[in-house]
Amino acid sequence: MPSYQIVVCGSIVPDPLQTLEPAAGPQGPVLKNELMLPAVLDPWAAHALYEAAHLARANPGSKVWLVSLGPKAKLQQVMMTVAQKAPFELVALDGPAGGFTDAWEVAEALAQAIQAIPGLDRARLLVFGG
């Protein structure tokens, strides 16, 4: 049976079950309590991570990494909860939160982080995204 090296790319988002308050900011409308909201793993990334963990469990010798860019302290906090549900190794890239980041820069940072994973065998590599 083959073994895989699975990389899941995902990010954290404000908990969608919390309430955001609109407010007026200097550049226009802002969300008053956005930075105070608890964060969760993006639901699509969470699904990809759980499927990766399921595949790894079914194929002995497989390993899962979660590569994520965001505020490192929040990433680590969220991942402690997520790690209770699925085994993985976190590759945390410190960066801005939110969806208003340059997609090219994020993709480049994620690609470099994936390439830097020690012992990664591209012949057995699967990349999942959220």
User: 11 with 130: CB under 8 angstroms?
Assistant: yes
Max avg pLDDT among 31-35, 74-78, 117-121: 117-121
Q: Which CATH number describes the domain made up of 5-129? A: 3.40.50.620
User: 65 with 91: CB under 8 angstroms?
Assistant: yes
Among residues of the chain, what percentage have pLDDT more than 90?
45
Q: Tokens 């699509």: give the residue.
A: 44
Strand, coil or helix: what is 103?
Answer: helix
Domain ranges of the chain: 5-129
Q: What is the pLDDT of residue 100?
A: 56
